[in-house]
Structure 1
Amino acid sequence: MKSRLLTVVLGVGLVSWLLPGPASASQGQVTEACGVVAGSVTSGGDHRQQYFSATVPPTRILDHVLQYQAFPAGQTRLSGSMVADPNAAGPDVSGHLVIGSVMYSTAYAANWWEPETGPVRLTRVGGGWGDFTAFDEALYVPTTGRGRTSAYGLRSDGVLFRWTIAPSGVWQGKTSYPGFAAVKAFAIISETATYDTLLATTRGGALYTIHIPTSTPMHPVVKLVRRTTWQVFESLMVAACGQYGVLLLGVDKNTHSGYLYAVGHATGLSTVIQPRGKLPVSFDDPTYHGWAAPGSPLFGE
């Protein structure tokens, strides 16, 4: 998606929103223009999105169902960041998600004016995903040259896996690294030509960056960002905000609450994190995911 702008209907008139928010922050100081889109799959299988502006407190500007009954009700366990390529009627949505214990690629054409009822196209990638607890994708698409898509999955025994997804859709180059059993959730905050970075919460409350060079075998470099209080979040979503920073949306599924943070360029314990406040809605959907913007890679570390 070369342009970040999509135009959607909201009540009367048109509202422009971004995937992700516009550049206006560098070290955790954001303006009200930045925003993050929370994607989700409802218990009934609807594919939904909500857009939150980083005001203080945060404001929900959009709540919209892209596709009714897009996926089997009550069966979607995990989803990576989705892509929405704009067209005249609405975005062409694509991505990967785990339904039951099987990973699928999905694609469908959404319509802003009259959301349709599924099913959408689901292509089986492979089984064996029943023990995975977290998943996300890094999409590095430079303005010139060759891009890449890397998929990261965390198994319940603490082994972190990486695959490269070829343009044909084939998953290849599998590599892994143990030692991440304490990780509860993660999201991509950097996508570059030579490395990706995950921002991860742990069950003990810490917040870490996991810097992963693109070389094989995989050798992650872990750096502590915060020591305590982050264990409440089971889902993380990220959007760019400024040249070096990101907005981070954390969802506490136990209390159905969401909190928004502006995170400056990650530098370990010196990383600036600015709370923007609790989001004014209940987060009741079982599965949440972020949205990727190929052509505008994240650069949070």
Structure 2
Amino acid sequence: MPRADINRSGEMEIFVRVVESGGFSAAARRSNMTPSAVSKLVGRLETRLGSRLINRSTRQFQLTAEGCSFYENAVRILADIEDAERHAGAGEAPRGLVRVNTSASYANHILAPLLPRFLDAYPGISVELVLTDMVVDLVAERADIAIRAGPMVDSRLIARKLGETALAIVGSPAYFERHGVPATAGDLEHHGRLGFGYRRAVGGWTVPGDHGPVEIPAVGRVSASDGEALRHLAIAGAGLARLAGFSIAQDLAEGRLVAVLDTDETRLMEAFHAVYIGQGGPLPQRVRVLLDFLAEHGQVS
């Protein structure tokens, strides 16, 4: 029988503070406790669970695999408790911070214009944006929601689709004046192809060949870590880039960029999803309302 005097939610809250503060001393200050008391509490928790949650040294603080799993579950359980108390109260409006990990392209072209409307609708919610095109670990990055492009491969994640967009190979008029306009896949070998500086699920550019579509690697003299940087490089004439249609729609309309090799055969569609960790259980209300808002207003095309 479990001991009735164990304050499990209190232990979880202190453990979460230790993880999110990056150490015992910082968590102690947030909890109005001594570092020794916090360390002993975590030690008792580890003893009761029979697992080491944190590898400690004088200079290093690192979660074990068990610690990462316990942290993920503790955050979810504490959020459920908060939601239960809120619903049992007076139906209080959602409050708190939502951390969103997204690409600079989605943030600039889709999310930023929408956020004022969301913030007006939910004055108790704050949003923190972390911008990267790389796929990140939501637990390690402490993200509530991530906006991801491409196929879903992480079975821990639950996804809500935000539409799909066509990828287009584009360059600036000035670039084409200097280097000519590629008409075939073979022509691309003679052009600078701006690519991402990290491995992606879709690494090359699908273009028509003599015997069907072929994939051309995006290898050039310049690479970058996010699509917005590649967009600016393409506008400046540094080379060709393959970019999401929603991020370059205005550039194409106003003539800053021109699409090439753009046919139904070569057009690749890329799906976008808002993802979060979970197994279908209740979400914190602050996260759920933002997910609902993105599903309704944050669609790409």
TM-score using structure 1 length: 0.21
Q: Which has the higher strand share?
A: 1
TM-score using structure 2 length: 0.21
Q: Which has the higher helix share?
A: 2
Larger Rg: 2
